[in-house]
Amino acid sequence: MNRYFVGVDLGATSGRVILATLCGDGIALEVLHRFPNRLLALGGKFYWNIYALYEEILHGLTLAGQRRIPVDSIGIDTWGVDMACVAADGTLAGLPRAYRDPYTNGVPEEFFRKIPRQEVYRRTGIQIMNFNSLFQLRAARGEGMSALENAASVLFMPDALSYLLTGEKVCEYTILSTSQFMDPRTREIDGLLLREAGVDPALFPRVVMPGRRIGALCDAVARQTGLGAVPVVAADRQTAGRGRNGHKWVSQPGRCSTMSYAVRIPRAIATDESVNGWLQMIAGLVTLDALNGMIEEYGAAPNQPDCSLELKWPNDVFCHGLKLGGLLSELVIPPSSGTGTDADVDDDVVIVFGVGLNLALGACRLPTPQSTSLQLHVSGLPSFGEMRDAVAERQVEGFRERLVKFIADPKGQAESLREEVKAVCWARGRQVEAHFTDGTTLTGEAIGLNEDASLILRTQDGTDHTVRTADVGVL
């Protein structure tokens, strides 16, 4: 079966939207759309017309959508060093300044009076040129550029275009390497250099490696182009999280992964209590698949042969009897169009799945004695950023594949899901205590799941009880 990929290739004078078809004999390339990229001269300054580039990219994607091509992914490649500023309201704060603008003349020499040229080269390892991003930022700060003064974030050109398509802000590693403020040893931003340029390093978003999924087409773009998407939001930090029964939890940046996935589900399925319990189970299975797939991809290996990832009904990822992560789901009713017509009644609702995972926490940083972290059980793991992105990418695909099957045949899928969960259910066969929202508890053996994904709890007197929502702890 063929697979299809769209690449956007932008140069300083022209751009192309290219369709790559991966087939059994190799890769076939087709230029869907070719367009000019014209430098704008305004008031003696040089800019890139990023809005025109965005429109041309949309046109190329629309051509793919009109042909009903099932595009697997979209990638954008541009020249380096140039940046766009994003205001607090999410809009672009003006046009990106072009590297051909002479406003950086003499700036490197000025900067070297603060940090010597040899030290700048030692910290970054790239050729020093006056138009590198570091010196552009210093020049922009020196002239009081309004876009930078009002910026809530700064994005490199390909990342800015990806942001316009997806709403996701990232800093791609290879484009960052052209900036003169990346430490090649850590693969992260060198904050000292940026601060000396008068710029807060926090203006730049998280660094992602090439090839990692950073988002999906936003709803408006998906509709305009005819290309579908599963939205994904990835974050590094959670400070006010709320778990089941209002329990508070905090995610540590650079160590814990916190993801939210929003998926449209037919209202009839999401509100059907005979099958909607399996949506939470699907989230758990997707997460296990993503973690195990990432471990295999990077050639990592468990420290102990009996180490396996399991699910504690209804919403926890366990490893060796300790909590490695948690999952929550929430039903959201999309806002109406406001027309008041019958067409305004949407047959779909949105399920938001929240997934929190301890990936790179050391033993001394664990929040409770009952928690754990993946790095404590698996050796040979990649960096946190690579782990996070690889897991997120696999989760997006997992949700797409499993939910398509479930929506097509919820009753039929329920039985197969029941067997899958049975094999990885950590609580099954153990003595547990279920804590209900009304303050009552029930103690017994977890013997399995019902057809609606509820837990079967057998008490000491041999009576089977159905548990649909509760905090379940093992005694």
**384-408 helix and 410-424 helix, angle to the nearest 10 degrees:** 140
Which CATH number fits the domain that encloses residue 451? 2.30.30.100
Residue 138 pLDDT = 97
Q: In angstroms, how far apart are the furthest CA atoms of the chain? A: 86
Q: Specify the number of domains making up the chain.
A: 3
Tell me whether residue 217 is in a domain. no
pLDDT score for 346: 57
Q: 241 and 107: one domain?
A: no
Asked whether residue 252 is assigned to any structural domain, the reply reads yes
How many degrees, rounded to 5, is the angle at CA 290 between CA 409 and CA 371?
A: 115
- Average pLDDT, rounded, for the chain: 85
Q: Which two tokens stand for residue 18?
A: 């290219």
Query: Do 348 and 319 share a structural domain?
Result: yes
Whether the CB-CB separation of 53 and 78 falls below 8 Å is answered with no
Residues in CB range of 16: below 8 A, 6 or more apart: 8, 9, 31, 33, 34, 35, 60
More confident site: 230 or 35: 35
Residue 102 in domain: yes
| Enclosing domain of residue 420 | 230-424
Q: Is 224 domain-assigned?
A: no
Q: Are residues 135 and 244 in the same domain?
A: no
Out of 175, 208, 241, pick the residue that ends a domain.
208
Angle at 228 between CA 22 and CA 284, to 5 degrees: 90
In this prediction, residue 255 carries a pLDDT of 75
pLDDT in tens, 51-82: 999 999 999 999 988 888 888 888 888 989 99
The Cα–Cα gap between 300 and 292 comes to 10
Kindly report which listed range (1-15, 251-265, 300-314, 432-446) carries the lowest average pLDDT score.
251-265
Q: 177, 208, 239 — which closes off a domain?
A: 208
Residue-wise pLDDT for 419-447, tens only, equals 999 999 998 999 988 887 677 889 999 99
432 close to 445: Cβ distance less than 8 angstroms? yes
Q: Are residues 193 and 314 in the same domain?
A: no
Contact between residue 76 and residue 8 where contact means Cβ atoms under 8 Å apart: yes
Domain assignment present for 223: no
Mean pLDDT to the nearest integer, 299-308: 86
Statement to judge: residues 60 and 179 lie in one domain:
yes
CATH number (domain holding residue 238):
3.30.930.10
Instruction: Mark whether 247 and 391 lie in a shared domain.
Output: yes
**Any residues with CB less than 8 A from the CB of 118 and at least 6 apart, and which?**
none
46 and 83 in a common domain: yes
pLDDT in the model for residue 462: 93
**30: CATH:** 3.30.420.40
Q: Region 9-26: what's the mean pLDDT?
A: 87
Same domain, 143 and 176: yes
Q: Is residue 173 part of a domain?
A: yes
Q: How large is the average pLDDT for residues 368-386?
A: 89
Angle, helices 50-66/157-166, rounded to nearest 10 degrees: 50
What pLDDT is recorded for position 174? 87
Question: What SS3 class is residue 306?
Answer: coil
- From 114, 112, 113, select the one nearest 128 (Cα to Cα): 112
